[in-house]
Structure 1
Amino acid sequence: MKDLKDKVALITGGTKGIGYGVALSLMNEGVNVAITSRDEARAKEAAESLEKASKTSAKALGVMADVRTYESQQKAVEHVLSKFGQLDIVVANAGLGHFGSIEDLTPEQWQETIDTNLSGVFYSIKSSVEALKKSKGYFISISSLAGTNFFAGGSAYNASKFGVTGFTQSVMLDLRQHNIKVSTIMPGSVATHFNGNEPDNSDAWKIQIEDMGELVVDIIKMNERTLPSKIEVRPTMPPSK
């Protein structure tokens, strides 16, 4: 996709953080975007903010959807197709984290992590695959370096992100026969609101959300003969321990 103008993207969890940064970068290339949130008012407010911040006349659509259910993701895709008539790019970004020893992790925390971070990615591609076949589009999942590096207190999060990495790579092999390109991005520390963080100057060393947006644009615009299927990205200079 050398020219992204008038393409259409659906980004889950796009009201802030990585999803918002990706949405804005795509809109700056002329892509119309739909961002999802479980909170309809928040989704619409973020969409308005994106349109004001964008350097182009691309449109932003706020959609209420819960990636934890297949039916909700189907409705989100249908909404996008009804509004824009096509779907070219899907970024499965929605995620959360519960951290702590297995002794303290509750079954409810485990289930919410798996349902959001892993099943949500499955529902996102499953609901959009037919539209992406028509557009010969692009599917990108946002995994994590935690999807290849395990750590104490991260059992649920590690399991979900290891799953996202493996799932997306398998889907890549399934769908390239349909000219659908599939990639997973595995970032390290990103300056977001994840896990209750409030980004400030102390996060300047981290990957910024606009960096993630730039990376997504670069991947999508790469020559069609080349597929960057799995990308690790990390801060250049983390603080010394």
Structure 2
Amino acid sequence: MTNWKQKVIVITGASAGIGEGTALHFAKFGAKLFLTGRNSDNLQKTKDQCVQLGLPDENIGSVVGDITDKTVQSKILSGALEKYGKIDVLVNNAGMVHYLKTGDTSDEEYDEMFDTNVKAQFMLTKAAMEYIKQTKGSYLT
């Protein structure tokens, strides 16, 4: 069984839904987490819940921002590396959808979904690969 207390896990979209649940799951095992999401209040809520599950506050880092922003992508990786010195796992969970109320999706809505759900995920994984390879880690998209 993996000793998660020694693992650094970066989770995008950790401010709600599956990302929040993933953070809480790994918090139970004592992993070192680096969380990101667009909503600072919800991201803080996730961090607080991790602490309530027994994860020490010093084992939780975070960056608030939109992963489609290359500056935010850089801050995610540099923040995790600065705090922990390595990255073992990348959980590329952030995503979004425009619900089709009218039966049509505008070009702008499509671009926003593609940029968030595909392009940002690819670019963050690409940038993180050298660090994940060093630890013989894993990435999930």
The AA in structure 1 aligned to 2:63 is V
Q: Establish whether residue 19 from structure 1 lines up as the match of residue 34 from structure 2.
A: no
Q: Distance in 1 between matches of 2:123 and 2:34?
A: 16
Whether the 8 Å contact between 1:40 and 1:62 is mirrored in structure 2 is no
Q: Structure 2 vs 1, CA of residues 14 and 42 (structure 1 numbering), >3 Å: closer, same or farther?
A: same
Matches within 5 A, 1:193-232: none
Q: Which residue in 1 is equivalent to 2:122? A: 122
Q: State the TM-score, normalized to the length of structure 1.
A: 0.53
Q: Provide structure 2 residue ranges, at least 5 long, that are not aligned to the other structure.
A: none
Q: Identity of paired residues, percent?
A: 29
1:103 to partner: Cα distance: 5.8
Q: CA RMSD in A?
A: 2.1
- Provide the rounded CA distance (Å) in 2 between the counterparts of 1:101 and 1:41: 28
- The aligned residue for residue 61 of structure 2 is 61
How far has the Cα of 1:17 moved from its partner? 0.8
Aligned to 1:218: none
**Structure ranking higher in helix proportion:** 2
Alignment partners' CA distance in 2, 1:34 and 1:55: 16
2:35 is paired with a residue whose SS is strand
- Superposed, which structure 2 residues align to 1:56-135 within 5 Å? 56-57=55-56, 59-100=59-100, 104-135=104-135
C-alpha deviations, 1:192-233, integer Å up to 9, x for none? xxxxxxxxxxxxxxxxxxxxxxxxxxxxxxxxxxxxxxxxxx
User: How far, CA to CA, are the matches of 2:97 and 2:42 in structure 1?
Assistant: 20
What's the CA shift for 1:126? 1.6
After superposition, give the CA deviation of every residue in 1:77-104 in whole Å (9 maximum; x if it has no partner): 1011101111111000001111328962
For 1:10, the aligned partner's letter is: V
- Check whether the contact 2:15–2:38 (CA below 8 A) recurs between aligned residues: no
1:37 corresponds to: 37
1:120 is displaced (CA, Å) by: 1.8
For 1:122 and 1:17, locate their aligned partners in 2 and report how far apart those are by CA, in whole Å. Answer: 21
Question: Relative to structure 1, is the Cα distance of residues 100 and 29 closer, same or farther in structure 2, using a 3 angstrom cutoff?
Answer: same
TM-score after normalising by structure 2: 0.87
Structure of higher CA gyration radius: 1
Does the CA contact (< 8 Å) of 2:24 and 2:49 recur in 1?
A: no
**Which amino acid in structure 2 is aligned with residue 27 of structure 1?**
A
Counterpart mapping for 1:158-197 below 5 A: none
| Aligned partner of residue 5 in structure 1, secondary structure | helix
Partners of 2:15 and 2:46 within 8 A in 1: yes
Q: Counterpart of 1:136 in structure 2: which amino acid?
A: K
Higher RCO (CA < 8 A, seq sep 6+): 2
Deviations 1:25-49 (A, max 9, x none): 1111120111111234443342123
Provide the rounded CA distance (Å) in 1 between the counterparts of 2:47 and 2:54. Answer: 14
The amino acid of 2:96's aligned partner reads: L
Is the 1:48–1:60 Cα contact (8 Å) retained in structure 2? Answer: no
User: For 1:33-77, what per-residue CA distance to the aligned partner results, in whole angstroms no more than 9, with x for missing partners?
Assistant: 11111234443342123212x244472222113211333212211
